Homo-oligomer: A and B are copies of this chain.
Amino acid sequence: MPDDPGESFVLNTLLRDAGPGGASTLRVPPGDDAAILADGLVLTQDAFIEGVHWDERFSGADVGWRLAMANLSDLNAMGARGVWAMLSIAMPKPLDRSWVEGFSQGFSQALNQVPLIGGDTCSSPGPKALSATLGGRLVAAPILRSGASAGDEIWVSGQLGAAAGGYYGIASLLSAFLRPMPPLTLGPALAERALVTSGMDLSDGLSQDLHRLCAASGVSAQIDPTSLPLPAALMDRSDPVADAVGFGEDFELLFTARPQDNVAVRTLGESLGVSLSCIGHIQAGSGPPTLGQRAWPVGWSHFGTEAPC
């Protein structure tokens, strides 16, 4: 559910007019990272608009990479692997051919072996406007936001706040901002081994995303701020924890697992070469998650008002 009231209005209007027909088509209700059809096809779609989702720091190749990875990350969060992609691309005139070539290379590199099977191309009288749709396949039961139970451990992959550091000008973190690397083998591997009780990707930051996961599961959570995997280069910032939980764009995986699976989860991470951190645990109740002695920053907005993305 978007936080922008305008976007919520658009979504609610569309869902109201669409009626209940989707219920029999979908295996799980709307509201997860991707839609799952009754036949097991997993579908996700992201729109990318110049000046909204990227600024002048992004090359065409960065935009292509990021658009593909944002969609692949949604599939990963469901425990699915990408099987095909479609792309709509609207470009202003005169056509910037070198941007298109860079975009195409970044997009196909990120898609790796996922084939582009169709789409649409047209002109735009305004900004570049892109939309990609990806189809994926589950390898086992899907990972949903709604499966966390009291006592489960809370895990995140990679580092939190690297994209924030890149955005705020820390040179060593710039590539994390421009070229996110979601752990695309992790979601399917966790699902295949039934090591996960719930999960989603960290596109909006832990502060919003954990709150969503808890709301979907009907639970609360306690996070140990000292256990958050922060990049060393972030430590010069005035409030690295705020950057790590409030900014988003890391496209890491947030998931919960039973405490008795702690070693199996760690072992799996090591075998995949994905660093995993246990950052807290799920607790009963419905209040906002807690972050040690700090108030949980529920109201933090995605990129804030300064954001280009």
Contacts and interface: CB of A to CB of B under 8 A. Distances in A.
Interface in A34-51: 34-35, 37, 41, 43-47, 49-51
A304 interface: no
B10 A95 contact: yes
Contacts of A301: none
A107 interface: yes
A25 interface: yes
Nearest to A133: B133
Interface stretch (A1-9, A182-190, A237-245, A255-263): A1-9
Contacts of A113: 21
Interface in A165-188: none
A91 B10 contact: yes
A292 interface: no
A290 B7 CA distance: 51
A89 to B, nearest CB: 6
A123 interface: yes
A62 B17 CA distance: 15
A interface, how many residues as a size bin?
35 or more
A45 B119 contact: yes
Interface of A: 2, 4, 6-7, 9-11, 13-19, 21-23, 25-26, 30, 34-35, 37, 41, 43-47, 49-53, 83-84, 86-91, 93-95, 97, 100-101, 104-105, 107-108, 111, 113-127, 129, 131, 133, 135
Given A9-B100, A22-B116, A126-B126, 15 more contacts: A9-B97, A13-B100, A13-B101, A21-B114, A26-B115, A37-B84, A41-B135, A47-B89, A47-B120, A47-B122, A52-B124, A52-B125, A124-B129, A125-B126, A129-B131
5 contacts: A10-B100, A13-B101, A47-B129, A49-B126, A124-B129
